[in-house]
Amino acid sequence: MEIIKQEIAIPTGIEQMPCHLARPASGGPYPGLVVVMEAFGLNDNIKQLTDRFAAEGFVAIAPNLFFRFPDNVVPYSELPRAITLVGKLNDDQVVADMNAAVAYLKTLKETKPNIGTTGFCMGGRIAFLAAARNNEIQATAPFYGGGMTSPRPGGGKAPIEYAGNLRAKVMAFFGGRDSFIPLADVDKFRDALKGAGKDPEIVLYADAEHGFMCDERPSYHPAAAKDAWGKVIAFFKRQLG
């Protein structure tokens, strides 16, 4: 599907947040999707993934959640810098920024009222957290989101503590060889959602590592990435129409 893509800025509070927006070039309206970046920032890989979602029939927006910080796109080889940027985030501010992205999608004539979230690494956690705190989000598909069951250092609830408020359907992807997310945490995440009366779809690729969707990282796993892509597109089309 032919797409239109552009760099825009949207209001979040009194500030303007840069975003990458991609949508089908014609037809519609289409479901909306907020695509959340990894800890490495709003880089070309995340923009390309956003474009791929648009080509599948979504109006997709990727907000730069690091926009308040200088030098906010980090090479994959500089993980400590990325971790420093993540440490500067505040969950309440992040949720406000995500809500701003959802609100912006709803202003577009090309967008249906049906909105989902997805994200990778840090973005997986944020995609789920935003869905748990905003009932306008109808589906969420986090990829290898770490810290789902643990409070952030310095305070704040673990995202899973908001599970009782969650209305969105959940499909979550994990790698069995992920050195950042123990399998015990995946089990705890699943069990907590089930305990809250939710029915999550948990997809685990036994041979995949953290970052298996990113073809610019050594951990890229082509088979898992292909399978997950088919599953996540089907999930959002089923849940968002």
Q: Catalytic one among 91, 178, 185, 221? A: 178
Neighbours of 204 (CB within 10 A): 16
For the segment 69-75, the average pLDDT, to the nearest whole number, is 97
191 is an active site residue: no
Kindly indicate whether the domain formed by 3-240 is annotated with CATH number 3.40.50.1820: yes
Per-residue pLDDT tens over the stretch 18-54:
999 999 999 989 999 999 999 999 999 999 999 999 9
Whether the pLDDT of residue 154 is over 70: the answer is: no
Whether the pLDDT of residue 148 is over 70: the answer is: yes
Q: Indicate the residue type of 71.
A: D
Structural domain spans, the chain: 3-240
178 is an active site residue: yes
Q: What is the pLDDT of residue 156?
A: 78
Q: Report the b/e string of 183-193 with b at 16+ CB within 10 A.
A: eebbebbbebb
Q: What is the pLDDT of residue 78?
A: 96
For the segment 206-215, the average pLDDT, to the nearest whole number, is 97
For the segment 129-134, the average pLDDT, to the nearest whole number, is 97
Whether the pLDDT of residue 79 is over 70: the answer is: yes
Write down the mean pLDDT value for the chain: 96
121 is an active site residue: yes
Give the rounded percent of residues in the chain with a pLDDT score beyond 90: 96
Whether the pLDDT of residue 104 is over 90: the answer is: yes
d(CA 160, CA 177): 22
Tokens of 239: 């849940």
**Cα dist from 197 to 95, 140, 161, 191, whole Å:** 23, 16, 13, 10
Q: Catalytic one among 97, 210, 214, 221? A: 210
Per-residue pLDDT tens over the stretch 223-233:
999 999 999 99
Dihedral over Cα of 71, 74, 77, 78: its sign:
positive
Where residue 153 falls among pLDDT bands split at 50, 70, 90?
confident
d(CA 238, CA 67): 33
Query: Residue 95 in contact with residue 133, Cβ under 8 Å?
Result: yes
Q: Catalytic one among 19, 51, 91, 121? A: 121
> To which H or E segment does residue 47 belong?
helix 44-55
pTM of the model: 0.97
